[in-house]
Amino acid sequence: MEFLKELGIKEKNQGASTGLKWNETQDQGELKVYSPVDGKYIASVYQSSEEDYDNVVKTAHEAFKKWRKVPAPQRGEVVRQVGLALRKFKEPLGKLVSYEMGKSLQEGFGEVQEMIDICDFAVGQSRQLYGFTMHSERPNHRMYDQYHPLGVVGTISAFNFPVAVWSWNAMIATVCGDSNIWKPSSKVPLTSIAVQNIIAEVIKENDLPEGLFSLIVGRGSTVGEKMLNDKRVPLISITGSTHVGRHGAEVISKRFGKTILELGGNNAIILTPNADLKIAVPGIVFGAVGTAGQRCTSTRRLIIHEDIYDKVKEIIVNAYKSVKIGNPLDQNNHVGPLIDKGAVEDFTKAIELVKEQGGKILYGGEVLEGEGYESGCYVRPAIAEAENHFEIVQEETFAPLLYLLKYKGAVQNAIDIQNDVVQGLSSAIFTTNILEAEAFLSASGSDCGIANVNIGTSGAEIGGAFGGEKETGGGRESGSDAWKAYMRRQTNTINYGTDLPLAQGIKFDI
């Protein structure tokens, strides 16, 4: 395919890079990549060794020692050039994202645009790494906060956003003065290699230190575990399941490292009797079936007031019947495949568990076969009537399975249902009643990191801090003041007088 050539993807690719230099290891196994779109072989990647990892970290640490001395606005200029390079390769990279991962072509392009947008955001941020000045209780003293570069930042990304998550972390970390190591999902390694190739020209033209942007493709049991245990990597951002995040957090915390955790979501939309269904329905359907339900912000639960339940159920089922499923490179299709057959198996198991636990499948749930579905990864998005206490509803099924839940009475009853899960990422309410909207956003409202009014649960903008509470991990990435996680905070006090008064009025005469 032409876009593979444009991105420098070869039939066989190396799995570790420190910027311009690639490793030569070929004895750790060959990771063969097949597209979930058509089941065809794309290319392979030689997995990295533990020695490769050690070289990457050592080089990244040396790069950090140089990069931290570069003024932040100059670091921002480098990120600006990364954004320009991504603009140049937006079309081929978007196609690769779609073909390797399976999301729609529009979503593939949108993901690359998100990378471009975060570059623009980070450029501005490079001139706003601000601290605060406080009044000292001691005379002739000045006290203030400042933020310094932290060190080597590791990013462990998931398959569903194979390039955007890296950019959220790497671009902010770069303007903060950190170096970066990226360990992508082994399900989608080619997109990461493509990105490394794209930024190579920026590295070369600016004579950037080798190791500022590094890549390591390898097994989680070897390379991944070494990163988690490595004191040379003070911060690791982990995107993935709650299980993966819990393990990572335990290991990293034992060495007093820092984490940014972006884990599971069990996101709900509340529909009150005051909802405008004309705008609610598209938000619900896209939130539930977009990326084949493989977004951490995908809509999993629809909590509907009993007065409008039957009407909404009919509308949603009819809307699902119009959803087009097929090759995501065809922009006429809405839904592409799941990432692999393992994900399909999880989907079908969840469908059976819904039935066993007392739920009812209203629509969908089939694995699609025949022409255009040869990969075995296509399913028909499902709608199920269920109750929030069902064990399967309490879990996150990473697939297009939407639960319809009924509530009675006041909006607080719906909020209580929404909050009654262990995850806390994204949430939404559709209502034209300002009292209901404000209750949803209040301290007794949604307990999620993201709470939206009259928009769906998915599609967060880069300008806001992204992340969630409870078993979603508590991390924040991207906008707002999320940059502070990538720096170390320091409080400074300066005595410009000729006496030494002590704090709290303590007297110490010698």
Mind telling me the catalytic residues?
262, 296
Amino acid at 390: F
Q: Taking the C-alpha atoms of 59, 63, 64 and 69 in order, what is their torsion angle to the nearest 10 degrees?
A: 160
3-state SS, one letter per residue, for 81-137: HHHHHHHHCHHHHHHHHHHHHCCCHHHHHHHHHHHHHHHHHHHHHCCCCCCCEECCC
Would strands 423-424 and 469-470 be described as parallel, antiparallel, or unpaired? antiparallel
DSSP string of 356-379, one letter each residue: HTT-EEEE--PBP-STT-TTS--B
* Secondary structure of 463-481 as H, E, C letters: CCEECCEECCCCCCEECCC
Q: How many CB atoms lie within 10 A of CB 308?
A: 17
For residues 280-296, b (16+ Cβ closer than 10 Å) or e, as one string?
bbebbbbbbbbbbbbbb
CB 338 within 8 A of CB 344: yes
| Angle of CA points 237, 60, 74, to nearest 5° | 90
Copy the structure tokens of residue 183. Answer: 């360990």
Report CA-CA distances (Å) from 45 to 57, 209, 216, 218.
Answer: 20, 25, 11, 9
The per-residue DSSP string of 298-356 comes to -EEEEEEETTTHHHHHHHHHHHHHT--BS-TTSTT-SB---SSHHHHHHHHHHHHHHHH
Longest dimension (CA), the chain: 90
